[in-house]
Amino acid sequence: MSENILEITGLVTRVSGYTILDDLHFSVQENELRVLLGPNGAGKTTLIDMISGRYKPTGGKIHFRGRDITGLPPHKIFKRGICRKFQVPNMYETLRVFDNVMISLAGHRLVVQSLFHKHTAADHERVVEILEFIGLAGKAEYPADALSHGERQWLEMGMLIAADPKMLLLDEPTTGMTEADKQKTAGLIQRIAERHTVLLVEHDMHVVRRLARYVTVLHQGNILAEGSLEDVVANEQVRQVYLGQGKFGGA
């Protein structure tokens, strides 16, 4: 097996007295597609926030590719190779779809570089390729705020692909999609996972079943179970946690 690309030890997050993450130990291997499950309030998004540098953890360490990234600002964590998607699609609303992806292409993040870099034919080609991949090539000239909800989700994933990070953090990319769109998205994630390490937060069991190889279940800020999807679903504790919500009922 390959090395652990992400290594979290003893992560603690307290927000105004409430413990969101409690002494969490968690690791992800290189080129793995890891699915993060858990009921509402389990701390899934908080964990993504901590890894991507949105907030600083109260305690504990996060190592990425062997280097300590605990508490670094988001742009530095990006530089180390982590890029995240937000639960609510987050993009540059008035820019064209094309520019949204162009701006996200890897490299040229410094002011001086932005000032003097001229987009090459290769850059252009790459953006076209990504737009075709996410199915938005026909809407390249649309301003991003003219897209439908599903298209916005795909655009943000396209921006992540363009950034070409080592690891992608995807926070509920199928929220608010129709069943058909969810399957499309699952297909996208599968393709992305061929080349990148992916940490995926997902609620929809159809999508999870299609994608998951290895699953981590969070509950009340800590890991409740970890293993293959079958093992986790069979786990008595997991069943109890989810019982009231009926999440696994039909699955």
Partner 1 sequence: MTTASTGLGGARLRLRREPMFPLWSIAGVAAVVAILATYPLYGTEYVMNLLGMFVCFSIFALSISLIWGFAGILSLGQAIYFGMGAYFIALSLKLSYAAENPTRYGGTIPDYMEWNGLEEVPTIMAPLMHLEVAIVCLLFFPTLLAFIFGVITFKRHIYGVYCAVITLAEALILQEFIIEYQAYTGGFNGITDYETYNNMYFLWIILGVAVVLFGATRLLTHSRIGTVLKSVRDNDVRAEFNGYEVANYRIFVFCFASMMAAVAGGLYAAWMGIVSHLDTGPILSIEGVIWAAVGGRSTVIGPFVGTFLVKGAEFFLSQQLAWAWQLVMGLLFIFVVKFMPDGIIGTMGKSIANRRMRSAYAETGGAYGAETLSIADRLRAVFAGGNASFMDYLFGRDGRRG
What is the contact surface with partner 1 in residues (CB under 8 A)? 52-54, 73-75, 78-79, 83-84, 86, 90-95, 98-100, 102-104, 108-111, 114-115, 117-119, 128-143, 145-146, 154, 159, 163, 184, 187-188, 191, 194-195
Query: Are 42 and 218 within 8 A, CB to CB?
Result: yes
CA angle 159, 134, 129 (to 5 degrees): 80
Q: Which lies closer to partner 1 via its Cβ, residue 148 or residue 245?
A: 148
From the CB of 39, what's the least distance to partner 1, in Å? 26
Neighbours of 220 (CB within 10 A): 15
Is 133 or 214 the residue whose CB approaches partner 1 more closely? 133
- How far apart CA 172 and CA 85 sit, in angstroms, is 8
Strand order in the sheet with 214-219: 82-85, 167-171, 197-201, 33-37, 214-219, 222-227
Nearer to partner 1, 168 or 224 (CB): 168
Q: How far is the CB of 163 from partner 1 (least distance, A)?
A: 6
CA 154/CA 184 separation, integer angstroms: 10
Least distance to partner 1 from the beta carbon of 231, Å?
31
Structure tokens at 67: 């280097």
Shortest gap between Cβ of 26 and partner 1 (angstroms)?
20
Q: In angstroms, rounded to a whole number, what is the distance separating the alpha carbons of residues 76 and 25?
A: 23
**Closer of 95 and 205 to partner 1 (Cβ):** 95
Quick one: 50 or 217, whose CB is closer to partner 1? 50
Provide the minimum distance between the beta carbon of 95 and partner 1 in the complex, in angstroms, as a whole number: 6
